[in-house]
């Protein structure tokens, strides 16, 4: 009797619908079917945060009719399972012939050619009901209780996460949706940073805690309404401790993942002014009190209060920064943000090294605006956990808008600006589709 053929297919979804059952049934007819269940990190990177864990999804897959074996798949690519299993057939929907999965398909074909395996593609079912299901699953992720803890989860899974600044719904969508494909790996930002500088600048105000909390809250809500990724709020100094406890409760309730407060007191100026502007650092006991009171106000284990140290900005030295860091952790800070305005990363690296000698677990946040040549991989290898791109969308949009305005003034009409700098009307009309 001829040996039974073997079949492999990958599953990343946590919403199993009739379309999946159909394709699994067809795959099982070809032979003994092994299903690779993509890990949570992989699903989060290429699609969205999974609502069910990999272990749960493996149990579900194992129970489906036609599935003989289930394996965990650690990569969107097929190299590991195909080299290990050498299945006669790989089954996939034909939707991956185009779009971001195209290189994955090409790699899969090469792998199959190595040992004479075959790719079997079934027509992908564009069913509106399935699209609606996926949209409903995605919208779940914006629910505060599901969004809040996702920053911690991502840091635990990935070691290092990246956050892009967002200052309104549109920039929120850019932070949420921008993705690039590189060697079969999809890169996206993990979360968003709601910067005081950008939130003030977009309102035409200086970054001196002039934009009040209600207004900051409006910005947060505007972004949250159209996105699902975790959010870190730049909480400035946190204000009076008596007020901060209420701020913390509000932020936690609406699904923000973390607030970062800086150890300054009095009229706050943007850190990138350094000592050029008068700025005063808070005392250690006072700031520790603010942290511990904020911590006491929390209702969940998900929300994080992160203490930002301004010692390097105010030229108080590394020892002062470290002394503060350990005191703030002792007071209950879930993380430390170390800030610097030098072009060289040396003092930040020295801080991370000396902090990590004594503390391997507390989350470390860096904001490499001035020392911008350091890569994310290097930060990770040195022990940082969060990289924040604090102001780049506003800094890139302002010059672009100014150029358009100047060109219209100079030309006394909009033709030139429109042709050179503006996206087509048709594209802007369909940029945000109706749901």
In the complex, the residues that contact Mg ion under the rule CB under 5 A are 196, 234
**Pairing relationship of beta strands 231-234 and 191-194 according to DSSP bridges:** parallel
Out of 6, 247, 271, 281, the only residue in the binding site for ligand SPV (CB under 6 A) is 271
The residues in 272-301 that bind ligand SPV, with binding defined as CB under 6 A, are 272
SS3 237: coil
Residue 275 in contact with residue 315, Cβ under 8 Å?
yes
Of 10 and 168, nearer to ligand SPV (C-beta) is: 168
Residue with tokens 């690779």: 36
391 binds, among ligand SPV, Mg ion, none (CB under 5 to 8 A by kind): ligand SPV
Please report how the helices 213-226 and 169-177 are oriented relative to each other, as an axis angle in degrees rounded to 10.
50
Q: Does 311 bind ligand SPV (CB under 6 A)?
A: no
Closest CB 280 distance from Mg ion, rounded Å = 16
390: partner contacted, choices Mg ion, ligand SPV, none (Cβ within 5-8 A by kind): ligand SPV
Pick between residue 18 and residue 266 the one whose CB is nearest to ligand SPV. Answer: 266
Side-chain half-sphere of 1: how many Cα atoms within 13 Å?
3
Query: Which of these, 11, 214, 183, lies nearest to 104 by C-alpha position?
Result: 183
Instruction: Write down the least CB distance from residue 349 to Mg ion, Å.
Output: 23
* CB-CB contact of 365 with 328 (8 Å): no
- Rounded Cα distance between 336 and 384, Å, is 10
Query: 385 is in the binding site of which of ligand SPV, Mg ion, none (Cβ under 5 to 8 A by kind)?
Result: none
Among the candidate windows 223-231, 264-272, 350-358, 420-428, which touches ligand SPV by CB under 6 A?
A: 264-272
| Shortest distance (Å) from residue 274 CB to ligand SPV | 10
Instruction: For residue 181, give the H/E element and its range.
Output: strand 179-182
Of 245, 246, 286, 294, the residue nearest 265 (C-alpha): 286
Selected catalytic residue, list 207, 263, 282, 302 = 207
Is residue 94 flagged as an active site residue? no
Q: How far is the CB of 182 from ligand SPV (least distance, A)?
A: 27
Does position 369 bind ligand SPV by CB under 6 A?
A: yes
Query: Measured over all CA atoms, what is the biggest interatomic distance in the chain, rounded to whole angstroms?
Result: 86
Q: What is the DSSP letter of 208?
A: T
Q: Does 154 bind ligand SPV (CB under 6 A)?
A: no
Size of the site for ligand SPV (CB under 6 A): 12
- Relative orientation angle of helices 241-254 and 284-297, to the nearest 10 degrees: 40
Query: Residue 180: phi, psi to the nearest 5?
Result: -125, 150
| 234/263 with CB nearer Mg ion | 234
Residue whose Cβ sits closest to ligand SPV:
195
What is the footprint of ligand SPV within residues 381-420 (CB under 6 A)?
A: 390-391
The single residue among 197, 220, 224, 233 that binds ligand SPV, judged by CB under 6 A, is 197
What separation in angstroms does the CA of 346 have from each of 116, 351, 353?
Answer: 52, 9, 10
Please check whether residue 6 is in contact with residue 88, taking contact to mean a CB–CB distance below 8 angstroms: yes
CB of 349 to ligand SPV, least distance (A): 18
* Residue whose entry in the numeric block shows the structure tokens 């030229």: 315
Q: How far is the CB of 197 from ligand SPV (least distance, A)?
A: 3
Considering the complex, what minimum distance in angstroms separates the CB of residue 258 from Mg ion? 14
Q: Which is nearer to ligand SPV, 247 or 271 (CB)?
A: 271
161: Cα separation from own chain's centroid: 6
Among 40, 209, 234, 293, binds ligand SPV (CB under 6 A): 234
Cβ atoms of residues 254 and 218 within 8 Å: no
Query: Given the complex with Mg ion, which of 92 and 269 has the nearer CB atom?
Result: 269
Contacting positions for ligand SPV (CB under 6 A)? 195-197, 207, 234, 270-272, 367, 369, 390-391
Active-site positions read 207
């Amino acid at each position: 009797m001829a040996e039974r053929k073997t079949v492999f297919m990958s599953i990343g979804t946590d919403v199993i619908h009739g379309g999946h059952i159909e394709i699994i049934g067809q795959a099982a007819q070809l032979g003994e079917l092994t299903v690779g269940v993509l890990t949570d990190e992989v699903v989060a990177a290429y699609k969205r945060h999974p609502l069910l864990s990999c272990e749960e999804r493996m149990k579900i897959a194992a129970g489906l009719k036609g599935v003989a074996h289930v394996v965990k798949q650690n990569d969107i690519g097929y190299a590991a399972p195909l080299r290990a299993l050498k299945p006669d057939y790989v089954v996939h929907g034909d939707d991956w012939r185009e779009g971001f999965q195209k290189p994955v398909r090409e790699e899969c074909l090469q792998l199959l050619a190595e040992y004479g395996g075959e790719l079997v593609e079934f027509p992908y079912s564009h069913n509106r009901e399935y699209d609606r299901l996926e949209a409903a699953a995605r919208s779940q992720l914006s629910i505060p209780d599901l969004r809040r803890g996702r920053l911690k989860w991502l840091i635990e899974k990935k070691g290092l996460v990246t956050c892009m600044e967002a200052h309104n719904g549109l920039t929120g969508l850019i932070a949420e949706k921008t993705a690039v494909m590189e060697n079969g790996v999809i890169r996206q930002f993990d979360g968003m940073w709601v910067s005081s500088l950008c939130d003030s600048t977009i309102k035409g105000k200086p970054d001196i805690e002039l934009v009040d909390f209600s207004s900051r809250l409006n910005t947060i809500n505007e972004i949250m309404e159209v996105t699902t990724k975790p959010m870190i709020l730049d909480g400035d100094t946190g204000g009076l401790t008596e007020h901060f406890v209420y701020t913390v409760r509000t932020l936690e309730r609406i699904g923000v993942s973390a607030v970062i407060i800086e150890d300054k007191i009095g009229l706050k100026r943007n850190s990138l002014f350094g000592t050029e502007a008068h700025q005063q650092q808070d005392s250690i006991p006072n700031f520790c009190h603010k942290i511990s009171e904020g911590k006491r106000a929390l209702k969940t284990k998900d929300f994080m209060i992160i203490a930002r140290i301004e010692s390097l900005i105010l030229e108080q030295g590394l020892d002062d920064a470290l002394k503060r860091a350990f005191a703030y952790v002792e007071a209950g800070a879930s993380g430390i943000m170390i800030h610097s305005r030098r072009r060289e990363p040396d003092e930040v690296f020295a801080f991370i090294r000396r902090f990590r000698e004594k503390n391997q677990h507390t989350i470390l946040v860096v904001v490499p605006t001035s020392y911008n040549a350091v890569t994310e991989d290097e930060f990770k290898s040195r022990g940082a956990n969060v990289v924040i791109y604090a102001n780049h969308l506003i800094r890139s949009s302002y010059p672009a808008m100014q150029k358009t305005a100047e060109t219209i003034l100079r030309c006394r009409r909009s033709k030139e600006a429109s042709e050179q700098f503006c996206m087509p009307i048709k594209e802007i009309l369909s940029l945000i589709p109706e749901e």
